Amino acid sequence: MMTAIHLSHLIEQGRAELLARHRQHLTAHQRRALDAMARCRTGALGATVMACSDCSHREVRLRACGHRSCPRCQQHAANDWLERQRAKLLPVDYFMVTFTLPAALRRLTYRNSRHIHDLLFHTAIDTLRSFGRRHAELTAELAGTAVLHTHNRQLDYHPHLHVIVPGAGVDRKQCWRRLKGRYLFNGKALAQVFRARFIKGLKQAGFALPEGCPSRWVVQCQHVGHGLPALKYLSRYLYRGVVAEKQIVAFDPHARTVTFRYQHSKTRQLGLRTLPLVEFLWRLMIHVLPCGYRRVRDFGFLHGNARRRRAIIQIALRVVIPPSPPRTALSFLCSTCQRAMTAVHVLNAGPRPAT
């Protein structure tokens, strides 16, 4: 059986060299993220002793860091997002619209990430809303949830925005309009409008359009399913970390390289990529968002301030919200007898190392 390669071990091996090469380029929040991931489930953050009431077996559960950039802690974020979306569930088809910035804009975006990511959110949402108002079948105000990603499957810097859109909306007369069929918008038409508005926003903000910026941008609009199953699929797709530990297949301590597995987005075939350890860690750091930056934003009747309006819609449509899986303190099972375990002792964390 292959031994798991933990991210904390890779950081321990390459941290000194990473800081030597890139310390001047690492922001405070990136260093905090590095520190959190280095300590995640290593015992440095403390641990909880669990005991089985049936067979008296005891286990030590190491504490996670909980940092939003830590790949080991992303499953919790995905579950939390799904629970929030469950409360907003609608009996309609869901679509995922992906707005991608071209390669020529990536350097400018990274250097001005907060401002240009905000522009990406604003322009994409504004484009979708205008298309919804002009849609021959809907002529309605759309709603959605936008999620920012800054990486592709090979860990390259690749900023893009996924927007989950229910195939329905509210028209000017406050009537519910529902889309028939599994087609929402034409991706090429979306891309033309999105490009024009984004470039206008760049110029208004005082940024010059980089040379080599293409005349055609890419926007994809795809049907992803109906109701709760669609949301479950999206929670797994949107909230996976930059790279999961199970994707890391090899670490060569002599060559100081890391090999990870990824899936090609078009062919769905598995591929391998090998990077120097420092380059691998640096690529993790460039995808750490600024402290406090909201990478998930709702709009329309899915916004947090539209609870009353959304409740009226759900009542009118006779929506039945499926119950959430129960959350109890007995969340760990004994490895010996598979019975529930309880916490009996807490081990405190050690001193925090300097970064």
Q: What is the pLDDT of residue 328?
A: 44
Per the structure block, which two tokens stand in for 307?
Answer: 């609870």
344 found inside a domain: no
CA triple 18-75-42, angle to 5 deg: 50
Round the CA-based radius of gyration of the chain to a whole number and report it: 23
58 found inside a domain: no
For residue range 306-317, list pLDDT tens digits in order: 888 888 888 888
Q: What is the pLDDT of residue 330?
A: 41
99 found inside a domain: yes
254 found inside a domain: no
Contact 298, 144 (CB under 8 A): yes
The answer to whether residue 304 scores a pLDDT higher than 90 is: no
9 found inside a domain: no
The H or E element that residue 264 is part of is none
Q: Among 3-12, 28-37, 71-80, 337-346, which stretch is predicted with the lowest mean pLDDT?
A: 71-80
Q: What is the pLDDT of residue 1?
A: 44
275 found inside a domain: no
Q: What is the pLDDT of residue 53?
A: 76
Contact 227, 91 (CB under 8 A): yes
CA pair distance 161, 295, nearest whole angstrom: 9
Distance in Å from the first CA to the final CA of the chain: 35
84 found inside a domain: yes
With bands split at pLDDT 50, 70 and 90, how would you rate the model's confidence at 351?
A: low
Q: Count the domains in the chain.
A: 1
pTM for this model (two decimals): 0.85
Domain residue limits at 113: 72-242+287-316
SS3 call for 20? helix
248 found inside a domain: no
Residues in the chain: 355
pLDDT average, residue stretch 278-298: 91
Looking at per-residue pLDDT, the higher value among 323 and 23 belongs to: 23
